[in-house]
């Protein structure tokens, strides 16, 4: 029997059916070792959480923190109890019985605290209690009440492709990762991207789908009825927000998946005919780790990669900022600089992730561009107030270059800092404990975020973004009604007032997932085009 098996058998209680940890054994060994375990937990907590406070949400810290704080409170209570005992003896000798009585009550309270804090079963009750299903959150606007004007070949269409066979990640595997080839099936993701493009454009092959996307975009922007031209550059904004460990980052937190990125590159280069050297993938304020760059660079060596620490040795290009490019319609802490390579690009693809965020509630395609500007404003904007995300979506140098919006929802999570585990990324409310296993695609920046938000809020409820996810769609209201928003802001990121940036609404319910264009051919809102396998 190895050390871990011995530890589990001696100290941990497990449910006989589910095998989940439900408590810590009150054994002759556990009680004497509690101070040692507490000291170790306190050291681990201080070493890990003080440098990066967001780590307090890590599963290991959810175990360590209560044990560490239990030890601290036990020690404080113990010394308090000793002090009260001495005071009580002094009061009795001096015949100050009222003071002695009050002191005795305080002593009993401290004694109860000591007992409760050193009780392993009490510690375990908070530590390992399984999470119940989330309570659904009801938005402030009623279902199927669309606002704004739909965008795209099929206005307001959001394609939802789900294939559970694409996500084979076993979260109980000790040495594995969700992004490993054995965990996420590249061929299945390729198919998901291809089928989504067909559904989005009404095409029956990949090449025609891209031709329609480029033609539609160019027509809408006054460039005539034409497709892609070989001298035009395409930027792809990916999300590697959690690559804190640098290029060798290899944790199980959520970042852009190499499978989705590689699939998109295959589409652009092999199907749409875009020269490799005209494609740049970027994450301007983070790094793109080797686990993404390596396999994609091996297949497409001339594609450009840009991040915050690039140099000639690592194959990435260091971001060069172009200041004064973004304009804002009201006061904000967001920066005005964008990457020069984004400024030079003709087209943009916004490839975001499906996840919540501790400050803004959610982080989908709009907030993905906080990785495209030199400074970010993480304040929460109340309903009916100005929101800088609207200016970013409406800017001709950022949002208005976008030909395609993609949300990678292979493993959607409750909060930006959560790892991909059964606790935080299994979808219990909507999909009976399965992974989300989904790709979302649209030409409408507001519609796709509205759909992503409906999925997140219905699955994680009031736990979304550690309680910060409600409401998180106020920027969608402002953007959908940009020409007459609830805040009465005159949005003009480039000096000229902008019109509606897309359509927003909420589905009828989480079971049917029907939007107004699903309910009626005459609907004016969102159409959720479903493809579930």
Average pLDDT of the segment spanning 288-310:
98
pLDDT in tens, 71-107: 566 565 555 555 655 655 665 566 555 665 656 565 5
For residue 119, pLDDT over 70 is answered with: no
pLDDT in tens, 140-174: 899 999 999 999 999 999 999 999 999 999 988 77
Other beta carbons within 10 Å of 55: 16
Q: What does pLDDT average to over the chain?
A: 85
pLDDT score recorded for residue 470: 78
Q: In this structure, what are the phi and psi dihedrals at residue 356, rounded to the nearest 5 degrees?
A: -95, 170
pLDDT score recorded for residue 127: 37
pLDDT in tens, 198-238: 999 999 999 999 999 999 999 999 999 999 999 999 999 99
Q: Helix crossing, 258-266 with 186-201: angle to 10°?
A: 50
Q: In this structure, what are the phi and psi dihedrals at residue 236, rounded to the nearest 5 degrees?
A: -125, 115
pLDDT score recorded for residue 91: 54
Higher pLDDT, 101 or 302: 302
pLDDT score recorded for residue 98: 65
Other beta carbons within 10 Å of 155: 18
| 189 band by pLDDT with thresholds 50, 70 and 90 | very high
Average pLDDT of the segment spanning 392-414:
97
| 131 band by pLDDT with thresholds 50, 70 and 90 | very low
For residue 55, pLDDT over 60 is answered with: no
pLDDT in tens, 246-255: 999 999 999 9
The C-alpha atoms of residue 319 and residue 343 are separated, in whole angstroms, by: 12
Higher pLDDT, 245 or 40: 245
Q: Is the CB of residue 150 less than 8 Å from the CB of residue 524?
A: yes
* pTM tops 0.85: no
Residues 6+ apart with CB under 8 A from 237: 282, 283, 342, 348, 349, 350, 351, 352, 368, 369, 371, 372
Could you list the beta-strand ranges (E) of 390-502: 402-413, 438-442
| 39 band by pLDDT with thresholds 50, 70 and 90 | confident
pLDDT score recorded for residue 81: 53
HSE, CB side, 13 Å, CA atoms: give it for residue 414: 25
pLDDT in tens, 478-491: 999 999 999 999 99
pLDDT score recorded for residue 103: 61
Residues 6+ apart with CB under 8 A from 290: 247, 248
């Amino acid at each position: 029997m190895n050390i871990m098996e011995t530890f589990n058998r001696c100290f941990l209680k497990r449910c006989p059916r589910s095998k989940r940890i439900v408590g810590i054994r009150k054994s002759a060994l556990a009680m004497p070792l509690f101070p040692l375990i507490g000291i170790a937990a306190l050291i681990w907590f201080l070493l890990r959480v003080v440098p990066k406070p967001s780590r307090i949400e890590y599963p290991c810290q959810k175990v360590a923190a209560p044990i560490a704080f239990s030890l601290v409170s036990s020690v404080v209570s113990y010394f308090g109890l000793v002090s009260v005992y001495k005071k009580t003896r002094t009061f009795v000798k001096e015949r100050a019985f009222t003071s002695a009585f009050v002191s005795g009550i305080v002593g009993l309270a401290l004694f109860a605290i000591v007992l409760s804090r050193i009780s392993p079963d009490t510690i375990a009750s908070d530590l390992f209690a399984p999470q119940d299903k989330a309570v659904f959150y009801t938005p402030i606007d009623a279902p199927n009440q669309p606002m704004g004007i739909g965008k795209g070949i099929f206005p307001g269409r959001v394609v939802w492709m789900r294939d559970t066979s694409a996500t084979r990640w076993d979260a109980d595997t000790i040495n594995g990762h969700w992004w490993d080839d054995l965990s996420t099936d590249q061929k299945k993701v390729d198919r998901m991207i291809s089928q989504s493009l067909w559904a989005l454009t009404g095409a029956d092959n990949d090449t025609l789908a891209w031709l329609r996307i480029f033609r539609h975009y160019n027509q809408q922007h006054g460039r005539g009825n034409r497709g892609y031209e070989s001298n035009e550059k395409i930027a792809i904004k990916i999300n590697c927000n959690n690559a804190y460990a640098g290029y060798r980052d290899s944790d199980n937190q959520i970042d852009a998946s190499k499978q989705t990125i590689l699939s998109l590159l295959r589409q652009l280069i092999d199907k749409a005919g875009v020269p490799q050297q005209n494609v740049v993938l970027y994450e301007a304020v983070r790094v793109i780790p080797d686990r993404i760059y390596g396999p994609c660079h091996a297949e497409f060596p001339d594609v450009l990669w840009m991040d915050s620490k690039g140099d000639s040795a690592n194959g990435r290009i260091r971001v060069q900022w172009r200041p004064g490019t973004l304009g804002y319609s009201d006061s904000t802490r967001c920066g005005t600089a964008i990457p020069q390579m984004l400024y030079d690009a003709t087209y943009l693809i916004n490839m975001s992730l499906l996840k919540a965020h501790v400050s803004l509630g959610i982080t989908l395609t709009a907030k993905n561009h906080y990785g495209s500007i030199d400074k970010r404003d993480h304040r929460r904007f109340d309903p009916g107030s100005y929101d800088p995300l609207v200016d970013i979506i409406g800017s001709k140098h950022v949002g208005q270059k976008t030909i395609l919006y993609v949300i990678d929802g292979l493993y959607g999570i409750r909060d930006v800092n959560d790892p991909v585990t059964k606790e935080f990324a299994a979808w219990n409310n909507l999909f009976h404990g399965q992974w989300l296993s989904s790709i979302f695609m649209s030409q409408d920046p507001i519609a796709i975020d509205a759909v992503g938000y409906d999925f997140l809020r219905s699955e994680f409820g009031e736990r979304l973004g550690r309680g910060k996810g409600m409401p998180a769609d106020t920027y969608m209201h402002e953007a959908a009604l940009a020409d007459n928003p609830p805040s009465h802001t005159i949005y003009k990121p480039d000096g000229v007032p902008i019109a509606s940036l897309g359509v927003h609404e909420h589905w009828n319910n989480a079971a049917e997932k029907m939007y107004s264009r699903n309910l009626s051919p005459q609907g004016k809102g969102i159409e959720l085009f479903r493809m579930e396998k």
